Amino acid sequence: MSSRLFVFILPVVVIAIFWAMARRESKLAHDPTHKSFFERNGTSLGIVFILLVAFWALFLVTLPYLYMVVESFHPKLPPAQRGGPTDVLTIAQYKSFFVNPIDNEVNGTHIYAFVFSILASVAVTALNFAICYPIAYYMAQAGTAQKVRLLMLGLIVPYWVNEILRAFALRLLLASKGLINQMLMGIGLTETPIDFLGNNTGLYVGLSYAYLLVMVFPLYNAIESLDKNQIEAARDLGAPWWKIHRDVVMPYAKPGIASGCTMVFMLSAGSLAAPQFLGGPSTLWFTSIVYDFFFQSFNWPRGAAYAFILLAACIAFVMLMLRLFKVSLGETIR
Amino acid sequence: MSAGVELDHVTVRFGHFTAVDNATLDIKGGEFFSFLGPSGCGKTTILRTVSGFLDPSEGSVRIGGQDMSGIGPNKRPTALIFQNLALFPLMTVADNITYGLRVRGVSRAERDRKAQELLDLIALPDQGKKLVSELSGGQNQRVAIARALAVQPKVLLLDEPLSALDLKLRQHMRNELRAIQKQVGITFIYITHDQGEALTMSDRIAVMSDGVIQQVADGKTVYDNPDTPFVASFVGENNPFIGKVSKADATGAVIETPFGPLRGRNPKNLKSGDKAILFVRPESFALGKGAPDATLTAETISSAFEGNATHVFLKGAAVKNITMTVGRHGGAKIPGPGDKATISYDPAMGVVLAEGKMARE
Ligand SMILES: Nc1ncnc2c1ncn2[C@@H]1O[C@H](COP(=O)(O)OP(=O)(O)OP(=O)(O)O)[C@@H](O)[C@H]1O
Ligand SMILES: [Mg+2]
């Protein structure tokens, strides 16, 4: 009980501290021409604004997460025992990711799913970048305005179809009796159908496709502002096309590349639909495990712990990559 | 090493629009050659055709006697300095300068040596480690020149490289550019819409208008012996008098203008009855009477004292604007506004050309 109560009090305390600091600041550096928030908006309207924003920030954004954090440090208990003597703070849920509480063996299945999800997301990000960079470059620098508009439309319109329908459509294409296999067998490239879904091709294709726009637009934004003359200057100085991209375009677009890759990586690591519909039967995506804890075994604490392990790992990985490529976090959200 | 550049009946079209019309030129190796013309006349288009970013719709470009068709900009012995310089903002000054060497696989040590050599040439010996954003406009200008020179081009192409600089710096950089060209001895093809720049720096100038090359000659010839009304009116100040040739003889032609008959040289051998324009430069006029067919009377509008000279603006006989420049020597009395003034010129300083398009004011 006490720890859960603490969670609800914590944000209030933090806000109070910030408010006190702000008051002190405005007293110290008093600007007579500056009107205070209440002077500008009137007292009653000001109070309504503040309450609304506070409600949103506290109840809809901060508290749910904090609640989940706290939950993940508690044992799973039937409702009657919650807040009772057995409801103690524990790291058992986090430990259960590494050591299976049932047989005290290393939790191979979950660790494998975790590593696989991360690596597969890295692969998806790389694939996505390889597909999107030429598209973004074409749209930003090479294409004529009319063709670029058509291309953009072609990219955006498929996203009007909802995610599950899109995943199923891909599944139909890639299934062993699907269109692609029929075609391959028809022209005699293969005797037996290729199991695109079983070997996870479907998963990679589906995930890459799902987050195409998330990659294209940051890249496009970054490349678009590059002065064409710089590309021509490099070319004039004798650089072949790939050196122009390596030395001029990519360094310039680095913030966009970082932000696109970060988003695609985070989204695919946390995606649920595509892995479920397009992954092979033996493929276990980490988010599916989290999902099952919440909705199959109603083990919220363990689900929350797993979710935070994934979140922490993803953030750490992204930070590492940003550090490696010398991009600051601020640049990626420019 | 320098190389000459030949344009052989080069035409460049964008759709139905002809940006360069049948240009034929022979630029010699080691020459400082300028293209001079108003905005939009096709100067950049010519430069991009020489550097290989554009293919001529007709005709061919030869550099050092070799046909350049099918050879890309990265394979041509030219280096282009862009109107906005286009330095690489994420590289240091030294890396900018040696980028052309880097893509050619030159070793780091050799590149460092070359960077230092070029930094010395452009008088920025200690600035190699800085970013280009940390240099001034004039310094960046020189970095762009060094970057282009680093690849040892046979021809350097410069697209209005001084237009972004302020007046003082521009004049300083003119001398510097000329000095660098003398030092490295390669062909410079220089683009400008500033006639002062073209006249002071170039060995020869091509004056362009609407994609057509009007005249190719050295600065003095372009100024004193313009080939077309466009050249006469675009290069320097000039006073046009429009009329018909009434008499053509060995020493020149007389044309009937609103001011009566006026005489000038007749380099194009116009005949009696041809429509023509007489051009007389402001500094060719003097106060007072001269030869009867080289004297006119006009009303003074205003005058502007400019230190070394005074510009007097006159009108009369349906001609709205005549400019006369009076030097300080002689102590001539400048007519005041509204005064009638009689002015004259040496007929050898007037030039009669067939009627044609003039530069817009
Ligand atoms: N890619 C293009 N497509 C269509 N028209 C073009 C293109 N490039 C240039 N033009 C046209 O060709 C003409 C000449 O252009 P150019 O850039 O050579 O002019 P310029 O003499 O360099 O002018 P400025 O002094 O303003 O730089 C202009 O009328 C321009 O509109
Ligand atoms: Mg231009």
Task: Please tell me the predicted confidence (pLDDT) of residue A2.
Answer: 65
Last residue within a domain, chosen from B198, B224, B250: B224
* B-proximal residues of A, 186-245, CB under 8 Å: 227, 229-230, 232-240, 243
**Considering chain B, what is the average pLDDT of its residues?**
87
CA-based nearest residue in chain A for residue B74:
A238
Report the alpha-carbon angle B21-B23-B24, nearest 5: 155
Q: What is the pTM of this model?
A: 0.79
Pick the more confident residue, B116 or B164. B116
Mapped onto helix, strand or coil, the DSSP state of residue A272 is coil
Name the residue facing B151 among A229, A235, A238 (closest C-beta): A238
Residues B100 and B60 in one domain: yes
> What is the per-residue pLDDT across B270-314, written as a single tens digit (0 to 9) for each?
788 888 899 999 888 888 887 788 888 888 888 888 877 888 888
Residues from chain B contacting residue A227 (CB–CB below 8 Å): 84, 86
Task: Please tell me the predicted confidence (pLDDT) of residue A142.
Answer: 86
Residues B201 and B240 in one domain: no
> What is the per-residue pLDDT across B172-210, written as a single tens digit (0 to 9) for each?
888 888 888 888 889 999 999 888 888 988 999 999 999
Among candidate residues B65, B63, B93, the one with its CA nearest the CA of residue B76:
B63
Hey, is the C-beta of A42 within 8 angstroms of any chain B C-beta?
no
* Owning domain of residue B117: 5-224
Residues B46 and B24 in one domain: yes
What integer is the mean pLDDT of A22-33?
Answer: 75
B252-257, strands of its sheet edge to edge: B260-264, B252-257, B239-249, B275-280, B351-354
10 Å CB burial of residue A131 (0-12, 13-18, 19+) is middle
Domain spans of chain A, in order of start? 1-72, 103-333
Q: What class has domain A103-333?
A: mainly alpha
Q: Is the ipTM of this complex over 0.90?
A: no
Q: For position B197, which CATH number holds? A: 3.40.50.300
Residues B21 and B143 in one domain: yes
Residues B169 and B24 in one domain: yes
Q: How far apart are CA A110 and CA A97, in angstroms?
A: 7
Inside any domain, residue B361:
no
Asked if B186 contacts B153 with a C-beta cutoff of 8 angstroms, the reply is yes
* A236:B88 CB<8 A: no
Q: How far apart are CA B90 and CA B226, in angstroms?
A: 47
Task: Please tell me the predicted confidence (pLDDT) of residue B331.
Answer: 65
Residues B92 and B239 in one domain: no
Q: Which residue has the tokens 């009107």?
A: A35
> What is the per-residue pLDDT across A160-213, written as a single tens digit (0 to 9) for each?
888 888 888 888 888 878 888 888 888 887 778 888 787 888 888 888 888 999
Last residue within a domain, chosen from B202, B224, B246: B224
How many separate domains does chain B show?
2
DSSP one-letter string for B75-129: GSSEEEEBTTB---TTSBHHHHHTHHHHTTT--HHHHHHHHHHHHHHTT-TT-TT
Q: Ligand 1 pocket test: which of B16, B45, B208 has the largest number of ligand atoms within 8 Å of its C-beta? A: B45
Kindly indicate the confidence band of residue B263, based on its pLDDT and cuts at 50, 70 and 90: confident
Task: Please tell me the predicted confidence (pLDDT) of residue B329.
Answer: 63
Residue B310: strand pairing partners: B305, B326
Asked if A238 contacts B151 with a C-beta cutoff of 8 angstroms, the reply is yes
Last residue within a domain, chosen from B182, B197, B224: B224
* A-proximal residues of B, 37-96, CB under 8 Å: 51, 53, 72-75, 78-80, 82-84, 86-90
Among candidate residues B200, B100, B114, the one with its CA nearest the CA of residue B156:
B100
Pairing of the two strands B285-287 and B275-280: unpaired
pLDDT value at B269 more than 90: no
Backbone φ, ψ for residue B274 (5° rounding): -70, 145
Asked if B344 contacts B296 with a C-beta cutoff of 8 angstroms, the reply is yes
Backbone φ, ψ for residue B245 (5° rounding): -70, 125
CA-based nearest residue in chain A for residue B78:
A236
10 Å CB burial of residue A56 (0-12, 13-18, 19+) is exposed
